[in-house]
Amino acid sequence: MAARDTQQPITIGAILAAARACCQPGLAPRLTDDQAAALAGLLKALADPARLQILDVLSQHDGTVCVCDLEGLVGLPDAETGQRPRQSTISHHLKVLRLAGLVGYEKRGLWAYYHVRRERLTELQALLDLLCT
């Protein structure tokens, strides 16, 4: 004769009881949906080596930096040629940073001069501080 299975079937009630036993009550995000979406956009703008380098260069200056001064200076070198991104690519990265509110600019003739918006970096720092507590 075969041995009988003595295990009881799992019920919905047992599953719910187990879930209540392991879940901590009162957990809730500190960020609203709007705050989370806005900050995610800010972090996405930063999620590129060239953009981080651009912010690094701009943050070292109290004034403005011409886009032409960034060419050949920032961005990861091409694997085949070893060249850093050209002005058009740098301009694209600056546009992403500008749309995120991380940099500001002014046009002077043909060139654009950029500066870091430190208040936005302060907001980012506050977010990171919040997540670390």
Give 32-131's CATH code, choosing from 3.40.50.10130, 1.10.10.10, 3.40.50.2300, 3.40.50.300: 1.10.10.10
- Reduced to 3 states, what is the DSSP secondary structure of residue 56? helix
Kindly state the DSSP code that residue 32 receives in the 8-state scheme: -
Q: What is the pTM of this model?
A: 0.75
pLDDT tens for 91-102 read 999 999 999 999
DSSP 69-117: GTTTTSSPPPTTT-PPP-HHHHHHHHHHHHHTTSEEEEEETTEEEEEE-
pLDDT tens for 28-51 read 888 889 888 888 999 999 999 999
Domain ranges of the chain: 32-131
Q: How many CB atoms lie within 10 A of CB 103?
A: 25
